[in-house]
Chain A
Amino acid sequence: MNGKSMHWVNRLAALGLVVGLVAGLAAAGNAQSVGGQAYSTYVNTPLGYSGQSPLAVLPAVSGTDGATADAEGSALNVAGALSSDFLNSITSGEIGTAETGAQSTASAASVNILNGLITADEVVANVMSSASEGGAFSSADGSTFTNLAIAGVGSLSGDSPIAPNMNISLPGVGYVVLNEQIPSGDGVSSSGLTVNMIHVYLQNLVGGILNPLTGQIIGGTLQTTGEIIVGSATSTVAS
Chain B
Amino acid sequence: MMREHRSLIVWPSLIAAGLLAVACSDQPNVSMAPKRPSFWVTPPPAQCPTGKWTGGGRIDPPSNHDATDEDAFHEAQFFAVVLPTMTGKFTFGFNVFLGQEVVNGQPTGNCIVTKGEIEVNGHDFVTEGQTGTRKIAWHVSIHDGADAYDGRPVYADVFADASLKGFCLVVGIPDRPPPDGYMTARENGKGSTEPFELAQFEVCDNDRGKPQKGKPGPDAMRWRSEHHGDTHLIYLTGGNVVEHGS
A interface list, Cβ under 8 A from B: 1, 3, 6, 9-10, 12-14, 16-21, 23-28, 30-32, 64-68, 70, 72, 74, 85-86, 88, 90-101, 103-105, 107, 109, 121-122, 124, 126-128, 130-135, 137, 139-143, 146, 159, 186, 188-189, 239
Chain B CB count within 10 A is highest, among A25, A27, A28, A91, for A27
CA distance in complex: A20, B188 (Å): 54
Q: Which residue of B lies closest to A110 (CB)?
A: B135
The answer on a CB contact under 8 Å between B30 and A92 is: no
Consensus secondary structure, chain B interface = mixed
Kindly specify which of B6-14, B78-86, B167-175 makes contact with the partner chain: B6-14
The answer on a CB contact under 8 Å between B242 and A70 is: no
CA distance in complex: A104, B54 (Å): 12
Question: B24 in the interface, Cβ–Cβ < 8 Å?
Answer: yes
Asked whether A105 and B135 contact (CB < 8 A) given A31-B27, A68-B117, A90-B56, the answer is no
Q: Which of B21, B34, B60, B119 contacts A20 (CB 8 A)?
A: B21
B188 cross-chain contacts in A, Cβ below 8 A: 72, 74
Min CB distance A221 to B, Å, is 39
The answer on a CB contact under 8 Å between B92 and A90 is: yes
The answer on a CB contact under 8 Å between B43 and A97 is: yes
Question: B93 in the interface, Cβ–Cβ < 8 Å?
Answer: yes
Which 6 A-B pairs rank lowest in CB-CB distance, beginning with the nearest? A142-B238, A20-B18, A96-B244, A66-B54, A24-B21, A98-B209
B interface list, Cβ under 8 A from A: 4, 7-8, 11-12, 14-15, 17-22, 24-28, 30, 34-37, 39-43, 52-58, 60, 89, 91-95, 97, 117, 119, 121, 123-124, 135, 137, 139, 188-190, 208-213, 215, 236-240, 242-246
